[in-house]
Amino acid sequence: MIKPEPPRRATIYEVARLAGVSHQTVSRYLRGERLKPATREKVDAAVKDLDYRPNQLARSMRTRRTNRLAVVLPMPSTFPLRLLSAASATAHKADYELELVSVEGGSEARSDRVRELAESGRVEGILSLASLDEDIGSTSPVPVLTTGDYDDQMRGLGLLADGSPVVDVIEYLVSLGHQDFLHVAGSQSWASARNRKRVYLETIERLGLRSHGVVDGNWSARSGYDAIVDLPDDTEVTAVVAVNDTVAMGVVRGALSRRWQVPRDLSVFGWDDDEIARFATPSLSTIAIDREAQGRDAMLRLIAAIRGEPVPESGVRSINRLVPRESTGRPRQGPAPARQG
**What global pTM score does this model have?**
0.71
C-alpha pair distances (Å), 273 with each of 47, 269, 286, 297, 328: 57, 10, 6, 21, 15
Q: How confident is the model over 224-254, as pLDDT tens digits?
A: 999 999 999 999 999 999 999 999 999 999 9
Domains in the chain and their CATH numbers? 12-54 (1.10.260.40), 64-154+293-317 (3.40.50.2300), 160-285 (3.40.50.2300)
- Confidence class for position 267, pLDDT limits 50, 70, 90: very high
Contact 219/244 with Cβ under 8 angstroms? Answer: yes
Contact 319/289 with Cβ under 8 angstroms? Answer: yes
Residue of 237, 236, 234, 218 lying closest to 226 (CA atoms): 218
Separation of alpha carbons 250 and 102, rounded Å: 32
Separation of alpha carbons 105 and 82, rounded Å: 23
Task: Give pLDDT, residue 242.
Answer: 98
Q: How confident is the model over 66-85, as pLDDT tens digits?
A: 889 999 988 876 678 888 89
Q: Above pLDDT 70, what percent of the chain?
A: 89
Cα–chain center distance at 318: 15
pLDDT of 41 > 80? The answer is yes
Residue of 105, 100, 147, 151 lying closest to 128 (CA atoms): 147
Interacting residues of 284 by C-beta distance below 8 A, sequence separation 6+: 245, 248, 249, 252, 268, 269, 270, 277, 278, 325, 326, 327
Task: Give pLDDT, residue 1.
Answer: 42
Average pLDDT over residues 10-37: 81
Task: Give pLDDT, residue 335.
Answer: 75
Cα–chain center distance at 156: 4
What angle do the packed helices 23-30 and 12-19 form, to 10 degrees?
110
Contact 160/192 with Cβ under 8 angstroms? Answer: yes
